[in-house]
């Protein structure tokens, strides 16, 4: 089993950015159909935490994601979450 990384939208939200969607522990059943243990995005969205069959559709995905979180690739998700949290709390501090 391996992790498969594709550029896709998170579920059915067509207004959403393109993300790196990770099919964790994926097994290819047939072309474009995978059985995955976990489905999440590189920016930390958990799309499915139970094993499921994932069918990939050609939705004209770009080569690179448009989601800013997914584009800053290679950063550990927990670390990124901590950084985002820190940015949020910094913004919450009154400046006046």
Rounded Cα distance between 88 and 85, Å, is 5
Could you list the residues that contact Zn ion (CB under 5 A)?
19, 41, 43, 67, 69-70
Closer residue to Zn ion, CB minimum distance, 17 or 27: 17
Closer residue to Zn ion, CB minimum distance, 23 or 70: 70
Distances (CA, A) of 42 to 26, 30, 94: 15, 24, 31
Closer residue to Zn ion, CB minimum distance, 78 or 93: 78
Q: How many CB atoms lie within 10 A of CB 8?
A: 21
CB of 29 to Zn ion, least distance (A): 26
CB of 74 to Zn ion, least distance (A): 14
């Amino acid at each position: 089993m391996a992790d498969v990384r594709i550029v896709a939208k998170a579920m059915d939200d067509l207004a959403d950015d393109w993300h790196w969607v990770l099919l964790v522990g994926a097994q290819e059943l047939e072309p474009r159909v995978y059985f995955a243990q976990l489905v999440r995005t590189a920016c930390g969205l958990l799309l499915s935490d139970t094993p499921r069959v994932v069918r990939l559709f050609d939705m004209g995905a770009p080569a690179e994601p448009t989601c800013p979180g997914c584009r800053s690739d290679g950063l550990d998700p927990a670390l990124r979450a901590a950084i985002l949290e820190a940015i949020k709390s910094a913004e919450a501090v009154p400046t006046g």
